[in-house]
């Protein structure tokens, strides 16, 4: 069956650098049923309506046991049994409660200026990182030296991780992220052990920090979460811990890819890079187009229906795994004109890059601002940047897709 | 006419006149230019202001969070129009294709778009309406005046009518910590638009916010002091309210008087048009050169039994204006229908309310997600076994799904389970709309009969 091999091809590392022709195949039928039981949807309008469909659950408990276990890539990231599920993997009303409490110190209506208020601080972090970019030999790795450390530093500041602890935090995050990225050369058992160790250490660290914040609260997000004075109720200690870990991982994992994908795309479109260099305001529409063109989250693999649902004559049975390939929807010619063209001047960019519906990206305002600042500054300060490898080596993960390294050559770094 | 190049000539050098310089008028002008109309464009408006946005007037403006003059509508492009602001259109000669203006001038057109909207229904007793301290809220000037008065020393505000605008005004007053009484003829706030089940939720919102809510009563008279300043209001239950600011929020009247005698199918309920926004004349024959858009239009909707809907909705004004503009300069076969599903939002007492479809047609209601007690829910309305409308309180992200159900005329009650179904949602209950034979405040959607020449409606607040 071609359908079966199609989804396998999509998740196959060999196609990571350019999955888009496979998505074109995927869109030829509204629903693909994979032999492992996964239903895959790639059309823009279908994905959008499923994201607003109150019969579609994000809760693993609503998923029927699949023969052969978890079939979907990217599912390794949760469900280690240590922490309760985060709001990412819960349905309303639990989802709404936890998300609302978490949102209180983060965004409108209660903290409308939190993110924009960080603009100056973000710019300083970006400047510092770029100041240290030039390795001397005229080459650098954008991932290692910039797009990875930037968001981790930002999330630390936001959560209220003391500066002195940032390096420890980096290293746990590093370990956890690399274990999300299964590599054939690393033994599975060993990887699990390393991940558990990092998670445990991180958990213990966060727990101690939360205790401190309980006694001596500041204005950071962790303090607000432990204070628990939201009218939506308070989170249990475990819920706070799980949420903090979610913010840490989700708060930078995706942004790394957004910035790296952005730099890669700009290097492939030098005329747009030049425009951005001359006019940093272009960063705003550019990042929107980027979220359409190369979204860091390629698919949402964790959904399943709580009733049999029908989609263009295909019944997706209750409890079956449903995978929504948002990156495919973003290139759907039924929705976007000339979808394979990167065009920051495009109007009407209602992309699916940050999802939609109740689970739409929690960190969207922060991710947008980080990417806008980062790309505008890189464009302004890097002198004659050029790709040393195209395509660059990608990370294993098909869900959270992005280059593992982005090696470039520059003539210098402008002051 | 098709193939003789007349449309091409119209697009190139025709004369288009738009009467109404608000949201629909502006969006239509922009769409005409976007679609390549290069002829002359005249926009006539009775207010002196360039097009502005109304939703902030009853919210941010009253709260002092936005200045009234800063609610200008963003322009999508320079429409290169001849703006004739501050001069109302006073007449239409369809045979000569001319619009008469208040200053005596006349403007000729090849195509006319009428987007004159609605105005606030004033307090019916003229002498009382003229008392200092009695306000309506529809225009920017209204908002400026009311906001200024609210920032002065105010003992108590009385809001007459608890529809969406009245409730938003009451909410803004409470947020400013002003004592406020709301008098509502119906059994609860919002009852005309959303029915009694949801009205009960709205009632609790008023009470929790500290509003002195009086339902089932009418204001029968406003009384002023010797200086001509409003001092109190008399209620139908015999009570009186001491007040120095009265906001009359009794719905809207359509601006069609200027078309009297023109031969156009225009009346108190608006101007009847076909789904392509072409106006009907009084004989029921569709015109080819007069188009209608926005609050003043009344068009048949196939989803709702081809009944003529008039909608006072922001999104409807935009969509209808774009379609009217397109159709004005297109060949018959290229025209597109306006099949917009009614949708609106309101923000009051910290709750975001959104609705799609025509809830007011519903007989029964089912809470499919969330709970009424939490004021976070989605409820659907059923009409003769199908889904006809839906409303959300702080649950707007689910709304597109329910809109699809309405568009597909899905069965009611929906036969499938939904996430977050609670005890509220075990089964449908009567939606509790008031008896339509008893006049109440104007709902934001009216569904009227098939004839454009309606009987005149008289508002009689004194009636029991």
Same domain, residue pair B44 and B153: no
C-alpha A328/C-alpha A349 separation (Å) is 15
> Could B398 and A52 be called an inter-chain contact, meaning their C-beta atoms sit closer than 8 Å?
yes
Span B387-417, pLDDT tens digits: 999 999 999 999 999 999 999 999 999 999 9
Chain A residues touching B392 at Cβ < 8 A: none
Same domain, residue pair B233 and B293: no
Strand order in the sheet with B106-108: B89-93, B98-101, B106-108
Cβ contact A68:B432 at 8 Å: no
Residue B462's pLDDT is what?
A: 39
Task: Indicate the angle between helix axes A237-268 and A283-293, nearest 10 degrees.
Answer: 100
- Whether residue A414 lies within 8 A of chain B, CB to CB, comes out as no
Q: Is residue B446 part of a domain?
A: no
> Could B418 and A55 be called an inter-chain contact, meaning their C-beta atoms sit closer than 8 Å?
yes
Same domain, residue pair B364 and B291: no
> Could B419 and A48 be called an inter-chain contact, meaning their C-beta atoms sit closer than 8 Å?
no
Residue B440's pLDDT is what?
A: 60
C-alpha B174/C-alpha B215 separation (Å) is 18
Among the candidates B275, B304, B334, a domain finishes at B334
Cβ contact B416:A307 at 8 Å: yes
What number of other Cβ atoms are within 10 A of residue A414's Cβ?
A: 11
Q: Per the structure block, which two tokens stand in for B64?
A: 């002092």
C-alpha A102/C-alpha A243 separation (Å) is 8
Chain A residues touching B368 at Cβ < 8 A: 54
Supply the pTM of this predicted model. 0.91
Q: Per the structure block, which two tokens stand in for B353?
A: 């309310």
Q: Is residue B362 part of a domain?
A: yes
Among the candidates B309, B334, B359, a domain finishes at B334
Nearest to A92 among B399, B400, B420 (CB): B420
| Of residues B376, B392, B270, the one with CA closest to residue A93 | B376
ipTM of this predicted structure: 0.88
φ and ψ of B169, to 5 deg: -65, -45
User: Could you tell me which residues are beta bridge partners of residue B98?
Assistant: B93, B108
User: Could you tell me which residues are beta bridge partners of residue A304?
Assistant: A57
Give B455's pLDDT tier (boundaries 50, 70, 90).
very low
Residue B35, SS3 per DSSP: coil
Cβ contact B201:B393 at 8 Å: yes
> Could A306 and B419 be called an inter-chain contact, meaning their C-beta atoms sit closer than 8 Å?
yes
Same domain, residue pair B71 and B218: no
> Could B417 and A52 be called an inter-chain contact, meaning their C-beta atoms sit closer than 8 Å?
no
Residue B213, SS3 per DSSP: strand
Span B301-351, pLDDT tens digits: 988 888 899 999 999 999 999 999 999 999 999 999 998 899 999 999 999
C-alpha A31/C-alpha A202 separation (Å) is 40
Mean pLDDT of chain B, nearest integer = 92
- CA torsion angle for B387, B390, B396, B399 (degrees, to 10)? 20
SS3 content of chain A, % helix, strand, coil (to 5): 50, 10, 40
> Could A52 and B401 be called an inter-chain contact, meaning their C-beta atoms sit closer than 8 Å?
yes
Q: Per the structure block, which two tokens stand in for A82?
A: 């240590």
Stretch B51-73: mean pLDDT, rounded?
92
Phi-psi map region of B177: left, alpha, beta (phi>0 left; psi -120 to 50 alpha): left
Q: Per the structure block, which two tokens stand in for B308?
A: 């003529």
Residue B422: C-alpha distances to residues B369, B418, B425 (Å): 7, 10, 5
Same domain, residue pair B373 and B432: yes
Same domain, residue pair B236 and B385: no
User: Could you tell me which residues are beta bridge partners of residue B280?
Assistant: B286
Same domain, residue pair B76 and B126: no
Residue A135's pLDDT is what?
A: 67
Q: Is residue B454 part of a domain?
A: no
Q: Per the structure block, which two tokens stand in for B92?
A: 């239409």
Chain B residues touching A356 at Cβ < 8 A: 397
C-alpha B165/C-alpha B146 separation (Å) is 14
CA atoms within 13 A on the CB side of A248: 27
> Could A307 and B417 be called an inter-chain contact, meaning their C-beta atoms sit closer than 8 Å?
yes
> Could A357 and B404 be called an inter-chain contact, meaning their C-beta atoms sit closer than 8 Å?
no
C-alpha B16/C-alpha B462 separation (Å) is 45
The more confident residue out of B216 and A81 is B216
Q: Per the structure block, which two tokens stand in for A254?
A: 């995706």
Position B118 pLDDT exceeds 70: yes
Cβ contact B39:B13 at 8 Å: yes
Residue A158's pLDDT is what?
A: 92
Q: Is residue B21 part of a domain?
A: yes
Task: Indicate the angle between helix axes A166-179 and A149-159, nearest 10 degrees.
Answer: 120
Collect the ranges in chain A with pLDDT lower than 50: 1-3, 68-79
Stretch B121-132: mean pLDDT, rounded?
96
Cβ contact B208:B170 at 8 Å: no
Residue of B376, B416, B421, B423 for testing the chain A interface, max A β-carbons within 10 Å: B416
Residue B186's pLDDT is what?
A: 92
C-alpha A202/C-alpha A196 separation (Å) is 10
- A86-145 residues touching B, CB cutoff 8 A: 91-93, 96, 109
The answer to whether the peptide bond before residue A109 is cis (omega within 30 degrees of 0) is yes
- Whether residue B399 lies within 8 A of chain A, CB to CB, comes out as yes
Position B2 pLDDT exceeds 60: no
Lowest mean pLDDT, pick from A70-84, B72-86, B260-274: A70-84
Chain A residues touching B378 at Cβ < 8 A: 54
C-alpha A155/C-alpha A143 separation (Å) is 17
Residue A70's pLDDT is what?
A: 46
Chain B residues touching A53 at Cβ < 8 A: 401
Same domain, residue pair B180 and B202: yes
**CATH no. for residue B259?**
3.50.50.60
C-alpha B338/C-alpha B349 separation (Å) is 33
Give the structural domain span for B222.
122-250
Q: For chain B, how many structural domains are there in total? A: 3
Same domain, residue pair B275 and B191: no
C-alpha B217/C-alpha B237 separation (Å) is 6
| Of residues B269, B271, B264, the one with CA closest to residue B448 | B269
Residue A328: C-alpha distances to residues A179, A332, A334, A349, B154 (Å): 26, 6, 11, 15, 58
φ and ψ of B391, to 5 deg: -135, 145
C-alpha B345/C-alpha B181 separation (Å) is 23
Give B461's pLDDT tier (boundaries 50, 70, 90).
very low
Q: Is residue B246 part of a domain?
A: yes
Helix count and strand count (H, E) for chain A: 15, 12
Q: Is residue B171 part of a domain?
A: yes
DSSP run (H or E) holding A230: none
Residue with tokens 């022709």: A21
C-alpha B223/C-alpha B231 separation (Å) is 6
C-alpha A335/C-alpha B51 separation (Å) is 31
Residue B58: C-alpha distances to residues B143, B191, B208 (Å): 7, 19, 20
C-alpha A134/C-alpha A408 separation (Å) is 11
Chain A residues touching B376 at Cβ < 8 A: 96
Give B443's pLDDT tier (boundaries 50, 70, 90).
low
What number of other Cβ atoms are within 10 A of residue A67's Cβ?
A: 7
Nearest to B401 among A54, A57, A306 (CB): A54
Q: Is residue B279 part of a domain?
A: yes
Same domain, residue pair B305 and B399: no
Among the candidates B273, B301, B334, a domain finishes at B334
User: Could you tell me which residues are beta bridge partners of residue A325?
Assistant: none
**CATH no. for residue B425?**
3.30.390.30
Give B456's pLDDT tier (boundaries 50, 70, 90).
very low
List, in order, residues 6 or more apart from A257 with CB less than 8 Å away.
A147, A296, A400, A401, A402, A403
Q: Is residue B463 part of a domain?
A: no
| Of residues B240, B71, B198, the one with CA closest to residue B144 | B71
C-alpha A5/C-alpha B117 separation (Å) is 58
The answer to whether the peptide bond before residue A148 is cis (omega within 30 degrees of 0) is no
C-alpha A412/C-alpha A384 separation (Å) is 8
φ and ψ of B180, to 5 deg: -140, 135
Q: Per the structure block, which two tokens stand in for A148?
A: 């990875």
Task: Compute CA A407 distance to the chain's CA centroid, rounded to the nearest angstrom.
Answer: 21
Domains and CATH numbers, chain A: 3-413 (1.10.630.10)
Residue of A nearest to B377 (CA): A93
Span B101-115, pLDDT tens digits: 999 999 999 999 999
Same domain, residue pair B131 and B246: yes
């Amino acid at each position: 069956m071609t359908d079966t091999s199609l989804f396998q091809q999509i998740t196959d590392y060999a196609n990571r650098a350019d999955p888009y022709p496979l998505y074109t195949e995927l869109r030829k039928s509204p629903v693909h049923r994979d032999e492992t039981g996964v239903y895959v949807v790639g059309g823009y309008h279908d994905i959008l309506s499923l994201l607003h469909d109150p019969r579609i659950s994000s809760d693993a408990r609503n998923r029927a046991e699949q023969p052969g276990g978890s079939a979907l890539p990217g599912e390794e990231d949760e469900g280690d049994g240590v922490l309760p599920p985060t709001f990412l993997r819960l349905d309303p009303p639990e989802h709404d409660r936890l998300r609302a409490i978490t949102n209180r110190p983060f965004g409108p209506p209660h903290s409308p200026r939190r993110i924009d208020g960080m603009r100056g601080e973000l710019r300083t972090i970006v400047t510092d990182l770029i100041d240290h970019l030039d390795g001397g030999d005229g080459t650098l790795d954008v991932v290692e030296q910039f797009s990875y450390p930037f968001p981790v530093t930002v999330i630390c500041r936001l959560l209220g991780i003391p500066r002195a602890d940032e390096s420890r935090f980096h290293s746990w995050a590093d370990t956890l992220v690399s274990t999300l990225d299964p590599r054939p050369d690393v033994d599975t058992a060993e990887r699990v052990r390393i991940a558990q160790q990092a998670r445990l250490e991180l958990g213990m660290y966060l727990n101690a920090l939360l205790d401190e914040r309980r006694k001596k609260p500041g204005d950071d997000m962790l303090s607000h979460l432990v204070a628990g004075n939201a009218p939506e109720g308070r989170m249990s200690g475990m819920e706070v811990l799980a949420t903090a870990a979610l913010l840490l991982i989700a708060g930078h994992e995706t942004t790394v890819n957004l910035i790296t994908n952005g730099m890669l795309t700009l290097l492939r479109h030098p005329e747009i890079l030049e425009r951005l260099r001359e006019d940093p305001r272009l960063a705003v529409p550019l990042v929107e187009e980027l979220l359409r063109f190369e979204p860091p989250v390629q698919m949402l693999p964790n959904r399943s229906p709580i009733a049999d649902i029908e989609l263009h004559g295909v019944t997706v049975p209750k409890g079956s795994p449903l995978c929504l390939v948002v990156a495919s929807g973003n290139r759907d010619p039924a929705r976007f004109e000339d979808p394979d063209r990167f065009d920051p001047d495009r109007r009407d960019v209602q992309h699916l890059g940050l999802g939609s519906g109740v689970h739409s990206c929690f960190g969207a305002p922060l991710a947008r601002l980080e990417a806008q600042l980062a790309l505008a500054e890189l464009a302004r300060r890097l002198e004659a940047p050029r790709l040393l490898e195209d395509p660059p080596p990608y990370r294993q993960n098909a869900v959270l897709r992005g280059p593992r390294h982005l090696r470039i050559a520059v003539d210098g770094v402008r002051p | 006419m098709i193939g003789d190049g007349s449309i091409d000539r119209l697009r190139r050098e025709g004369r288009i006149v738009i009467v109404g310089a608000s949201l629909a008028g502006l969006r239509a002008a922009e769409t005409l230019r976007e679609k390549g109309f290069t002829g002359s464009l005249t926009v006539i408006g009775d207010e002196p202001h360039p097009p502005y946005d109304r939703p902030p007037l009853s919210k941010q403006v009253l709260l002092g969070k936005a200045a009234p003059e800063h609610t200008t509508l963003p322009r999508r492009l320079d429409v290169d129009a001849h703006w004739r602001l501050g001069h109302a259109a006073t007449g239409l000669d369809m045979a000569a294709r001319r619009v008469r203006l208040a200053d005596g001038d006349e403007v000729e057109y090849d195509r006319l778009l009428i987007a004159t909207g609605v105005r606030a229904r004033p307090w019916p007793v003229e002498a009382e309406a003229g008392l200092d301290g009695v306000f309506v809220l529809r225009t920017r000037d209204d908002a400026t005046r009311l906001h200024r008065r609210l920032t002065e020393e105010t003992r108590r505000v009385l809001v007459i009518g608890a529809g969406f605008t009245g409730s938003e005004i009451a909410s803004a007053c409470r947020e400013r910590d002003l004592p406020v009484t709301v008098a509502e003829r119906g059994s609860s706030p919002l009852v005309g638009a959303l029915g009694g089940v949801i009205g009960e939720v709205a009632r609790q919102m008023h009470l929790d916010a500290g509003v002195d809510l009086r339902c089932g009563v009418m204001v029968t008279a406003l009384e002023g002091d010797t200086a001509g300043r409003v001092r109190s209001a008399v209620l139908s239950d015999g009570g009186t309210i001491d007040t120095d600011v009265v906001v009359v929020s009794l719905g809207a009247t359509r601006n069609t008087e200027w078309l009297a005698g023109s031969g156009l199918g225009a009346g108190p309920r608006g101007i009847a048009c076909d789904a392509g926004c072409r106006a009907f004349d009084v004989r029921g024959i569709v015109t080819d050169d007069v188009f209608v858009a926005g609050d003043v239009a009344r068009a048949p909707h196939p989803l709702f039994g081809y009944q003529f809907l008039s909608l006072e909705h922001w999104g409807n004004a935009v969509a209808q204006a774009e379609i009217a503009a397109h159709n004005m300069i297109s060949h018959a076969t290229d025209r597109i229908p306006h099949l917009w599903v009614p949708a609106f939002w309101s923000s009051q007492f910290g709750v975001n309310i959104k609705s799609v479809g025509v809830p007011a047609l519903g007989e029964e209601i089912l809470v499919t997600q969330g709970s009424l007690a939490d004021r976070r829910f989605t409820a659907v309305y059923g009409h003769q076994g199908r889904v006809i409308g839906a409303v959300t309180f702080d649950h707007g992200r689910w709304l597109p799904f329910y809109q699809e159900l309405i568009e597909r005329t899905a069965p009611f009650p929906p036969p499938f389970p939904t996430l977050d179904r609670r005890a509220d949602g075990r089964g449908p209950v009567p939606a509790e709309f008031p008896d339509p034979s008893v006049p109440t405040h104007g709902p934001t959607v009216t569904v009227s009969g098939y004839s454009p020449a309606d009987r005149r409606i008289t508002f009689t607040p004194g009636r029991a």
